[in-house]
Each structure stands twice: as C-alpha cells, then as structure tokens.
C-alpha cells in the first residue's frame, strides 16, 4: 500500500498524481462556465429539451444545438476527434465524452 504524501511533498514530487489532476476536469469546468454564461448549458445537461418536430421553436433549437455540437467537438484534441462518434445532439456528445474521459473517484481494489 502506498502511504499518502507528506506535507509539502505532493507539489515537489514529480511522481505524485491526484485524481483531480485530470485535464478533463479543467476542460469540463471551463466548458460548463462558458455555456452557462451564454445560457446554453441546459442543452448539455438535458434541462432544455428538444421540442416536438412541428413546434415553432424546433428550427431555433436545431440551430443552437448544432452550434454547441461544433463548440464541444472542437475542444477535443484533434488526434482524439477520430475516436469520437459523430452525434447530432449535444447532450449525447457531452455524455459520451464525459463517460469516456472521466476518472472515477471510487476506490479500486485488486482482490
């Protein structure tokens, strides 16, 4: 078992890695902040639902959703883009990316 780092050791030890050191966390937080600033985060978290097909706002919904798909997709490292399936709904894309690149905070045991 590995002992926890001593006071001050964590920053100076190049071999220390914390679950919060995942760059995906930074990107997710930055994207969430940017989308909230534009009042568009509801598209990503599912609180802004897709209107029914004949609803008057469906065209506007698709316009915003498509722009958000582009924004999210373009934040992905170019080398990784080919590994991401094309998705037309930004919530589906966001959920897929989070699922694939998030690090779980659960403890793992090698039993």
SS3 16: coil
Output the CA–CA distances (angstroms, integers) from residue 54 to 19, 59, 64, 87, 88, in the order listed. Answer: 46, 9, 17, 22, 18
Residue labelled with tokens 């599912």:
46
- Chain segment 82-109, per-residue pLDDT in tens: 888 889 999 999 998 888 877 554 444 4
Q: Is the distance from CB of 40 to CB of 33 less than 8 angstroms?
A: no
* Best CA proximity match to 42, nearest among 90, 85, 74: 90
Q: Cα-flanking dihedrals φ and ψ of residue 56, to 5°?
A: -60, -25
* Best CA proximity match to 23, nearest among 73, 69, 77, 86: 77
Measured distance CA(77)–CA(100) in Å, rounded? 14
Q: What confidence tier does 12 reach under pLDDT thresholds 50, 70, 90?
A: low
Residue bearing the bigger pLDDT, 16 or 41: 41
- Chain segment 41-95, per-residue pLDDT in tens: 999 999 999 999 999 999 999 999 999 999 988 888 888 888 888 899 999 999 9
| pLDDT at position 27 | 67
């Amino acid at each position: 078992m590995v002992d926890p780092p001593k006071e001050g050791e964590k920053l100076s030890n190049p071999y220390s890695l914390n679950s919060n050191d995942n760059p995906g966390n930074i990107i997710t937080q930055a994207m969430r902040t940017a989308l909230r600033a534009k009042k568009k985060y509801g598209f990503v978290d599912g609180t802004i639902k897709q209107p029914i097909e004949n609803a008057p706002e469906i065209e506007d919904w698709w316009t915003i959703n498509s722009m958000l798909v582009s924004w999210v997709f373009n934040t992905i490292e170019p080398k990784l883009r080919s590994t991401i399936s094309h998705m037309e709904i930004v919530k589906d894309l966001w959920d897929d990316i989070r699922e694939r690149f998030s690090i779980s905070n659960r403890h793992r045991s090698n039993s």
